[in-house]
Amino acid sequence: MAKIVVALGGNALGKSPEEQLKLVKHTAASLIGLVAAGHKVVISHGNGPQVGAINLGMNYAAEHGKTAAFPFPECGAMSQGYIGYHLQQSLQNELHRQNIQKDVATVVTQIEVDPSDSAFENPTKPVGDFYTKEDAAKIQAEKGYTFKEDAGRGYRQVVPSPLPKKIIELNSINNLIEAGSLVIAGGGGGVPVVQTTDGLQGVPAVIDKDRSSALLAANISADQLIILTAVDDVYVNYGKPDQKSLRELSAAEAHQYIDEGQFAPGSMLPKIEACLDFVASGANRTALITSLDHLDDALAGKVGTLIK
């Protein structure tokens, strides 16, 4: 029996509440497969599209005098509740269907960041929907948001993405795991907070969920970090006619491929770096990157990229 942190990427969540619930039901079946096999499972997830949508909606309502303004950390906390609710419900339904007795809980998770992190000067994390170049420039001029082109798919608002340093609710998460609960934590990379003379305070940023998942996995002494995304494997020469699956990757090989620029910054690179951080955090720790649809095959060693 292993302790496993599973980080769910955007393709496991979809774009609307209806789509998310449908996809999360499918995700729940795979995750309960891990529980049924006897593993202790902790789930984390992204929130880029969701936190952007919540923030956009709240800003729109505030601009029309219908509500107060809701800052980014509050929107991040809302995204944890919204996604956690769908995950909890779907996992509970699947547990019930499989006649497995287990409690499920989402922990609203704050993660401390360094206020002097250089990420605050250089926003990189895409949130929300895609815009044309012209619309992005108009909104940037009107509202002062920063937009950047996102992997050839259009322009998105970007916010700072500081490195996660400390999980504030770590003891509560550990207590729930030890009590046998299926825990959802660190959603959306955690709500970013800094220590001030008045205590903890939220900051407008979105932490990368793969980096937070690696920190969570290391902090709870997990055996494995599984990152579920849109691709079955990590590739060299990705997207080129000679692309090749990497089935197993040592830290030394991963560093060499990073130096060669094989992993795109903003998509695969942070995943590889998060995996390397986790693998280096303790003996016999491994990380697996694969797609949600092939989790079973990946656990059987048939697909996926194992980093060790």
Ligand X SMILES: NC(=O)OP(=O)(O)O
- Using CB under 6 A, list all residues that contact ligand X: 9-10, 46-48, 188-189, 206, 208-209
209 part of the active site: yes
Token pair in block for residue 169: 């609710």
The burial class, CB within 10 Å (0-12 / 13-18 / 19+), for 169 is middle
Query: Please, what is the angle between helix 251-259 and helix 268-280, to 10°?
Result: 150
What are the strands of the beta sheet with 146-149, ordered from one edge?
125-131, 155-159, 146-149
Q: 206 is in the binding site of which of ligand X, ligand ADP, none (Cβ under 5 to 8 A by kind)?
A: ligand X
Residue nearer to ligand X on the CB measure, 9 or 162: 9
244 part of the active site: no
Binding segment toward ligand ADP, per CB under 6 A, in 51-59, 139-147, 163-171, 264-272: 264-272
271 part of the active site: yes
- Tell whether residue 288 is a contact of ligand ADP (CB under 6 A): no
Q: Classify 91 as helix, strand or coil.
A: helix
Q: 47 is in the binding site of which of ligand ADP, ligand X, none (Cβ under 5 to 8 A by kind)?
A: ligand X
Alpha-helical segments (H) within 68-151 = 72-97, 133-143
Least distance in angstroms from the C-beta of 258 to ligand ADP: 10
Task: Enumerate residues 225-254 that contact ligand ADP by CB under 6 A.
Answer: 229-231, 234-235, 238
Q: How far apart are CA 296 and CA 139, in angstroms?
A: 44
Of the residues 47, 186, 187, 209, which is catalytic? 209
Residue nearer to ligand ADP on the CB measure, 11 or 92: 11
Residue nearer to ligand X on the CB measure, 46 or 160: 46
Q: Classify 273 as helix, strand or coil.
A: helix
Instruction: Out of 4, 31, 46, 110, point to the residue binding ligand ADP (CB under 6 A).
Output: 46
Beta bridge mates, 199: 196
165 part of the active site: no
- Tell whether residue 79 is a contact of ligand ADP (CB under 6 A): no
Q: Classify 71 as helix, strand or coil.
A: coil
- Tell whether residue 72 is a contact of ligand ADP (CB under 6 A): no
125 part of the active site: yes
Q: Which of 163, 152, 145 is nearest to 267 (CA)?
A: 152
- Tell whether residue 157 is a contact of ligand ADP (CB under 6 A): no
Least distance in angstroms from the C-beta of 55 to ligand ADP: 18
Instruction: Out of 32, 184, 268, 299, point to the residue binding ligand ADP (CB under 6 A).
Output: 268
5 to 44: interface string for ligand ADP, x by CB under 6 A? ----xxx---------------------------------
The burial class, CB within 10 Å (0-12 / 13-18 / 19+), for 60 is exposed
Q: Where would I find the beta strands (DSSP E) of the chain? A: 3-8, 40-45, 104-107, 110-112, 125-131, 146-149, 155-159, 166-167, 182-185, 191-196, 199-202, 224-229, 234-236, 244-246, 248-249, 286-291, 305-307
Of the residues 125, 128, 187, 304, which is catalytic? 125
Q: How far apart are CA 91 and CA 95, in angstroms?
A: 6
Instruction: Out of 262, 277, 290, 304, point to the residue binding ligand ADP (CB under 6 A).
Output: 262
Could you list the active site residues? 10-11, 125, 209, 271
Instruction: Summarize as ranges the residues that interact with ligand ADP (CB under 6 A).
Output: 9-11, 46, 229-231, 234-235, 238, 262-264, 267-268
